[in-house]
């Protein structure tokens, strides 16, 4: 008789039914006539209880020696159980060993991070990493749902780019046939500006690259970024779009993962529940005043590092938007405020010391002004001739931003280091496994 | 009075209302007391009718000289109009010029492809490219909805990879700090095998790279691929997953874009309506017999090129799945059939000469067999040690496949060349704009 093959995530729908579960042995303990097998299938972990009298003798004896990560199929009855973290356990009638694993390298004891990163292909199976990866997938889906549901068209930006947007020092270089070098993209923004003039509201969402010689807990050489861009949008609307996105993501994660955030990641979710639009907005100059008032040395023109971001963020119960930065701190393509010292840029700072998760603003839409900026910044004009075309033909006010997935996941999950937020982290010192 | 700002795609909801539309002038004609402005906003094109007596005199006179792609805001009344392709037109009360464009480089007349590709940043605005990009976005969303809706977890595969999966000749090389070279991924499959053992059902979806010295109409150096991988899945179930995906994509595209496919791309959609699961399945050996019977020279061991794929595909009214290929034609990681000459691989061939859109199969799950294959293929064993770990610890039958987005979009849209299926195509001879 073929039993229905089910997943642990959906086990509640099969109460008092006989089912088949295909997975791996996560942990076990035995007591004479009973084996308690913790079985994981990638969607969750269930306790499978094997009574000596319920299964053939050799199966019961065999089960006593199974190593962690042995692949097993268990068949049996789904029973409600109030003591179970998932509310159910499986009463096993049949235990099938698919393949035995011996000496699995990652045991429930503590391992060093370097060792775990070297075994990332196996570390992914642990409960904690499993939750983080599923939260990441939820964050990514929430991002897409937000934009797809608001009339945006996904437009994939190219990865190979011909020229440097902001200098070549942090670019990865790729020899490209007879065309010299290509560079791996740091941002799809310029391409999204072209696409916004074609499609109105667009976003790209893909990997971006930064060859920064930096080993901090916030840096990866390869990370995922979503970048919306909207024709006829101003800085004020850009901030509304940004706070809408962030609060949508957090609400979705709480809806799907609140229990796991608490029980597996020990996240204080009360701090996430405050994350609702509108977010407080302060100007850069107000931020400087707030830093000074908090006893932190600061003056107009200073860039904010992690310390300043944390001081500012700690003054609010939800993310804070800082806008209108000194032009010197922002790239050539930012439009200027009527106050010519200021660029129409904005950053969203996450609470709890997680720093900037969004950076963006309104773009310069005037041809002559932009030509002047490119020349002042000593950028190669030829490389930007296509970008200037966007100001020659039908230029309109437009704005957008970039949100980094890994920093967002680190914040939502409450992780110290971004390396756990991406399946296979790439850093200065790591390209394996 | 501030009018509601609306999009053309949603104009039907505003019949007999006064609205504001923000867009660009796509085309125009005039007749004394009337201007007919074709206004596009990225979501569609509407005819905006300007009566001489309805607007200030200087606005009417000005409108006579507006160049293509001039950015304009029109305000007026939405009226039902049976002659309009979208069923509505706008009776203009106020015309605001946001920025004038002169001598737009892409006129309604014919341009060569090289010229258009060089002006890709502007070419995106043309009706045809606009539809193709929106179909691409729909295809990508359909792919994600299919997997998300079937219990899969998105797991982003790394772009930087340390070693060559199938030789280095078609890999792009990136100097990587002190670690020597990294290579840009050609496939996330091996990583998805690790992830499937952690999460059960997974997929990755991102850009992949191939440094092939090839200038055919089917090749890009940078293209997007989705790759599902499922623990405990066999070749037979893999084929069901694949045909389910392809028919889901086509149904979604027809649902959202049938009208545009016909009117803008002149696609014969009747051929798409046949694309429903189940797809016919033939073995490789049957395929050889069919080729011979069709007068096409073929023998066991031959690989299929475009010609063979077209002969085979033309025998069916929907995609056809060819399975169980000679082991020599498939990579080292394919599991073998009980008939040891055959690998448990399958390809899905699209109709109408569009060739292979899916390739996949069941993976070798036995440690010793896989070690032997790696050695026979003269691959560096050290580079695969983490991959072999997946067979050491809890190995299970598993399978998956890869679907190429650009070939799928080319087929669905009926395009001759893949370069129009991606916003900014990267080919051997092109990395700009």
Q: Residue A80, Cβ neighbours under 10 Å: how many?
A: 11
**Closest alpha carbon within chain B to A148:** B141
Residues 292-311 of B with CB under 8 A from A: none
**Closest alpha carbon within chain B to A69:** B394
User: Which residue's structure tokens are 């701090």?
Assistant: A271
CB proximity B101 to A under 8 Å: yes
CB proximity B160 to A under 8 Å: yes
Chain A residue numbers touching B197 (CB-CB < 8 A): 24, 42, 124-125
Contact B159, B184 (CB under 8 A): yes
Question: Angle CA(B46)–CA(B49)–CA(B55) in degrees, nearest 5?
Answer: 130
CB proximity B98 to A under 8 Å: yes
Q: Is A2 exposed, middle or buried, given 0-12, 13-18 or 19+ CB atoms closer than 10 A? A: exposed
CB proximity B395 to A under 8 Å: yes
CB proximity A389 to B under 8 Å: yes
A96-134 per-position pLDDT tens digit: 999 999 999 998 788 999 999 999 999 999 999 999 999
Query: For residue B164, is pLDDT > 80?
Result: no
B311-329 per-position pLDDT tens digit: 999 999 999 999 999 999 9
Consecutive H or E run containing A65: none
Q: Which residues, listed in sequence order, are joined to residue A21 by a DSSP beta bridge?
A: A6, A74
The reply to whether ipTM tops 0.85 is yes
Chain A residue numbers touching B196 (CB-CB < 8 A): 42
Contact B165, B190 (CB under 8 A): yes
Chain B residue numbers touching A121 (CB-CB < 8 A): 191, 194, 386-387, 389-390
State yes or no: cis peptide before B433, omega within 30 of 0. yes
CB contact under 8 A, A172 and B177: no
CB proximity A134 to B under 8 Å: yes
Average pLDDT over residues B411-418: 96
* Of residues A41, A158, A174, nearest to B174 (C-beta): A174
**Closest alpha carbon within chain B to A6:** B151
CB contact under 8 A, B172 and A174: yes
CB proximity B107 to A under 8 Å: no
CB contact under 8 A, A133 and B198: yes
Chain A residue numbers touching B174 (CB-CB < 8 A): 172-174, 184
B96's CB contacts (< 8 A; 6+ apart) are B72, B73, B74, B75
A71-101 per-position pLDDT tens digit: 999 999 999 999 999 999 999 999 999 999 9
* Distance from C-alpha of B70 to C-alpha of A123, rounded to nearest angstrom: 56
Contact A91, A35 (CB under 8 A): no
Look at phi and psi of residue A200 and say left if phi exceeds 0, alpha if psi is from -120 to 50, else beta. left
* Of residues A155, A200, A389, nearest to B41 (C-beta): A200
State how beta strands B173-175 and B181-184 pair: antiparallel
B383-410 per-position pLDDT tens digit: 999 999 999 999 999 999 999 999 999 9
Residues 363-382 of B with CB under 8 A from A: 365
B203-251 per-position pLDDT tens digit: 999 999 999 998 888 899 999 999 999 999 999 999 999 999 999 999 9
CB contact under 8 A, A124 and B207: no
**Closest alpha carbon within chain B to A21:** B232
**Closest alpha carbon within chain B to A366:** B99
Segments in A157-227 forming alpha helices (H): 189-199
Segments in A339-423 forming alpha helices (H): 367-376, 385-392, 405-413
A228-269 per-position pLDDT tens digit: 999 999 999 999 999 999 999 999 999 999 999 999 999 999
pLDDT recorded at residue A166: 57
* Of residues A121, A177, A221, nearest to B390 (C-beta): A121
Average pLDDT over residues A368-393: 95
Average pLDDT over residues B178-204: 97
Residues 253-282 of A with CB under 8 A from B: none
B64-77 per-position pLDDT tens digit: 999 999 999 999 99
Contact A223, A404 (CB under 8 A): yes
* Distance from C-alpha of B363 to C-alpha of B109, rounded to nearest angstrom: 52
CB contact under 8 A, A155 and B423: yes
* Of residues B125, B154, B392, nearest to A137 (C-beta): B154
CB contact under 8 A, A433 and B386: yes
Helix (H, G, I), strand (E, B) or coil at A376: helix
- Mean pLDDT (chain B) is 96
Query: For residue A167, is pLDDT > 70?
Result: no
Q: Count residue pairs from A and B with Cβ separation < 8 A.
A: 257
Does residue A169 or residue A192 have the better pLDDT?
Answer: A192
CB contact under 8 A, B393 and A101: yes
CB proximity A140 to B under 8 Å: yes
Average pLDDT over residues A282-299: 97
Chain B residue numbers touching A182 (CB-CB < 8 A): 426, 431
In angstroms, the separation between the Cα of residue A267 and the nearest Cα of chain B is: 22
CB contact under 8 A, B162 and A431: yes
Average pLDDT over residues B29-54: 96
CB contact under 8 A, B129 and A426: no
Cα within 13 Å of Cα(A242), Cβ side: 37
Query: For residue A163, is pLDDT > 80?
Result: no
- Which residue out of A8, A22, A121, A184 would a mutagenesis test of the B interface target, given it has the greatest number of B Cβ atoms within 10 Å? A121
In angstroms, the separation between the Cα of residue B314 and the nearest Cα of chain A is: 32
CB proximity A393 to B under 8 Å: yes
* Of residues A121, A129, A158, nearest to B426 (C-beta): A158
B86-98 per-position pLDDT tens digit: 999 999 999 999 9
Average pLDDT over residues A17-33: 96
Chain B residue numbers touching A69 (CB-CB < 8 A): 393-394
Question: How far is CA B63 from each of CA B57, B67, B88, rounded to the nearest angstrom?
Answer: 10, 9, 21
pLDDT recorded at residue B237: 98
CB contact under 8 A, B155 and A134: no
Helix (H, G, I), strand (E, B) or coil at B29: strand
Q: Is B171 exposed, middle or buried, given 0-12, 13-18 or 19+ CB atoms closer than 10 A? A: buried
Contact A332, A349 (CB under 8 A): no
CB contact under 8 A, A432 and B386: yes
- Tell which residue, B19, B43, B153, has the closest CA to residue B94: B19
Question: How far is CA B116 from each of CA B124, B130, B353, B416, B433, rounded to the nearest angstrom?
Answer: 9, 14, 25, 16, 11
Residues 199-218 of B with CB under 8 A from A: 199-201, 206-207, 209, 211, 213
CB contact under 8 A, A129 and B155: no
* Distance from C-alpha of B92 to C-alpha of B75, rounded to nearest angstrom: 6
Q: Residue A242, Cβ neighbours under 10 Å: how many?
A: 26
* Of residues A156, A224, A431, nearest to B160 (C-beta): A431
CB proximity B41 to A under 8 Å: yes
Domains of chain B, first to last = 8-99 (2.40.50.140), 120-421 (3.30.930.10)
B9-18 per-position pLDDT tens digit: 999 999 999 9
A382-416 per-position pLDDT tens digit: 999 999 999 999 999 999 999 999 999 999 999 99
């Amino acid at each position: 008789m073929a039993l229905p093959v089910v997943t642990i995530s959906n086990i509640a729908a099969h109460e008092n039914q006989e089912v088949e579960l295909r997975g791996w042995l996560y942990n076990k303990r035995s007591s004479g006539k009973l084996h308690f097998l913790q079985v994981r299938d990638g969607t969750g972990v269930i306790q499978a209880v094997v009574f000596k009298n319920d299964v053939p003798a050799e199966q019961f004896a065999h089960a006593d020696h199974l190593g962690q990560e042995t692949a097993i199929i268990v068949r049996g009855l789904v029973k409600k159980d109030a003591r179970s973290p998932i509310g159910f356990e499986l009463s096993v009638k049949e235990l099938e060993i698919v393949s035995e694993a011996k000496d699995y390298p990652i045991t429930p004891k503590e391992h060093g991070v370097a060792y775990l990163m070297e075994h990332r292909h196996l570390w992914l199976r642990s409960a904690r990493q499993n939750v983080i990866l599923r939260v990441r997938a939820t964050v990514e889906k929430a991002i897409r749902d937000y934009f797809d549901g608001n009339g945006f068209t996904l437009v994939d930006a190219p990865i190979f780019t011909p020229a440097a947007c902001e200098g070549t020092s942090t670019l990865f270089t790729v020899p490209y046939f007879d065309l010299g070098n290509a560079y791996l993209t740091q941002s799809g923004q310029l391409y999204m500006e072209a696409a916004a003039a074609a499609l109105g509201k667009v976003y790209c969402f893909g990997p971006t690259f930064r060859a920064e010689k930096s080993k901090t807990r916030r840096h990866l050489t390869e990370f995922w970024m979503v970048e919306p861009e909207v024709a006829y949008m101003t800085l004020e609307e850009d901030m509304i779009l940004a706070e809408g996105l962030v609060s949508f993501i957090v609400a979705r994660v709480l809806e799907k993962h609140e229990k796991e955030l608490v029980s597996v990641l020990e996240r204080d979710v009360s701090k996430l529940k405050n994350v609702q639009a509108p977010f407080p907005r302060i100007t850069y100059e107000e931020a400087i005043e707030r830093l000074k008032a908090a006893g932190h040395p600061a003056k107009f023109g200073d860039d904010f590092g992690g310390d300043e971001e944390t001081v500012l963020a700690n003054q609010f119960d939800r993310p804070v938007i800082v806008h209108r930065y000194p032009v010197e701190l922002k790239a050539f393509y930012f439009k200027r405020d009527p106050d010519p010292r200021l660029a129409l840029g904005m950053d969203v700072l996450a609470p709890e010391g997680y720093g900037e998760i969004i950076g963006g603003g309104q773009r310069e839409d005037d041809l002559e002004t932009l030509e002047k900026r490119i020349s002042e910044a000593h950028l190669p004009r030829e490389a930007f001739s296509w970008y200037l075309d966007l100001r020659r033909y039908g230029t309109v006010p437009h704005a957008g931003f970039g949100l980094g997935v890994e920093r967002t996941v680190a914040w939502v999950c409450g992780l110290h280091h971004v390396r756990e937020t991406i399946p296979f982290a790439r850093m200065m010192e790591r390209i394996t496994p």
